[in-house]
Amino acid sequence: MDKKRQTPDPVPTEELLSMLQDARSLALFMEQTGENLPNTSTAEYLSQLLKAYSLTRHEVIEQAGLERSTGYQIFSGQRNPKRDALLRIALVMRLTPAETQRLLKIAQRGELYPKNRRDAAILYCVQHRIGLIEAEILLEEINEPLLR
């Protein structure tokens, strides 16, 4: 599943923060940065990623080991996914660390934190493009909970 992707890079958070600090009013900030503050849903972002990687919902759901109806509810926006489900999807899709962190942010599920042992292991797997099965083996080897 190592497909070439073409997702646009968002404006860096630091740059937006600087613009917000320099703005004379919130209305002016919103007017100037409107398109840089997308209100993207988890389902919309997953759809963009599927397209960028030339993948289908079906193959990602199946390879991530998600229950079929749950998977389709996640991809259609009918269900807010749990963090581990998003991480399973990210590993199966071989997302970059930035894409994975953005997916977790959009879903409001907490980014991977390298000072957390389990998160560090998962981030290592994402960074090194290690698939789901291999990631679970690695988690088991270091006595950390598997992705449920």
Whether 94 maps to a domain, the answer reads yes
- Residue 8 within any structural domain of the chain: no
- Res 4 pLDDT > 60: no
Residue 79 maps to which CATH number? 1.10.260
Q: What is the pLDDT of residue 10?
A: 64
Domain count within the chain: 1
- pLDDT of 2 > 70? The answer is no
pTM above 0.85, yes or no: no
Provide the sign of the torsion angle of the four alpha carbons 52, 58, 60, 66, taken in this order.
Answer: positive
Residue 23 resides in a domain: no
128 in a domain, yes or no?
yes
List Cβ<8 Å contacts ≥24 apart for 71-77. 74/42, 74/43, 74/46, 75/43, 75/46, 75/47, 75/50, 76/43, 77/41, 77/42, 77/43, 77/44
- Provide the residue range defining the domain that includes 106: 39-141
pLDDT digits (tens, 9 = 90+) for 77-108: 999 999 999 999 999 999 999 999 999 999 99
Dist. CA 112–CA 97, nearest whole Å: 9
Instruction: Encode 68-120 in three state secondary structure.
Output: HHHHHHHHHCCCCCCHHHHHHHHHHHCCCHHHHHHHHHHCCCCCCCCCCHHHH
Please report whether residue 118 resides in a domain. yes
pLDDT for 49 equals 97
Residue 3 belongs to a domain:
no
The 10s digit of each residue's pLDDT in 34-92 is: 766 667 899 999 999 999 999 999 999 999 999 999 999 999 999 999 999 999 999 99
Residue 46 maps to a domain:
yes
